[in-house]
Structure formats: structure tokens, C-alpha cells
Amino acid sequence: MEHETAFSSAIQQHGIALIRSVTRDLVNITFDPSVDPREQMREFPLGPGESWSFAIHDPYQVYVRIRGPIMEAKQAAWLLKHEVAWAYVDV
């Protein structure tokens, strides 16, 4: 709520001409320990502005930041092909 008040005040004072909200959704992917996640993720079909990173707590988990609430068909197909466990992350 405080940030809304600050933005509103800045807009009224012409301190901000445009506010662009950029949201990304997270998908958690867990690999079987018998595979190399880095090697597997080289082929993950990332879209523009999307990225992935390893989980800090588990070397066999990665987080993928996707553009919207629904991943693209080619991304879903990749998950099925690689037989990984995955879930959307509540943020």
C-alpha cells in the first residue's frame, strides 16, 4: 500500500511519466539426480525476456521465469519430453 501512495504522489508531481508493470511467473523444475540439469536446460525453449537459474537449496532444481501465467506449448512439450517434476510457484 505504501508503494502505491509513493507512486501516486510521484505521478501527481510529474516525477514519473510512465509506469510499466512487468511481471513474470515462476516454474520450479526438479530433475532426477542421474541427469545434469545444466545440460538439460540448454535446450529449454526460453522466450524473449525469460530466464532460468538454479535453486540455491538443491542442485537438481531450477526456477524458470516465464512471461505469463501460462507457459508456451513448446515449453510444456519440453517438460513432458524430459520427464521432470515441475510446478508453478506462488510468489
**Which amino acid belongs to residue 46?**
L
* 38 within a domain of the structure (yes/no): yes
What's the domain range around 74?
A: 22-89
pLDDT of residue 54: 95
pLDDT at 1: 45
Residue 78 sits in a domain whose CATH number is 3.30.70
Looking at the structure of the chain, the number of domains it has is 1
Residue 6 has pLDDT above 60, yes or no: no
Say what the pLDDT of residue 52 is: 95
What global pTM score does this model have? Answer: 0.71
Q: Has residue 65 been placed in a domain?
A: yes
Judge whether 11 lies within some domain: no
Please check whether residue 29 lies inside any domain of the structure.
yes
The per-residue DSSP string of 32-68 comes to -TTS-HHHHHTT----TT-EEEE-SS-TTEEEEEESS
Q: What is the pLDDT of residues 20-39, one digit of tens each?
A: 444 568 999 999 999 999 99
In a domain, 8, yes or no: no
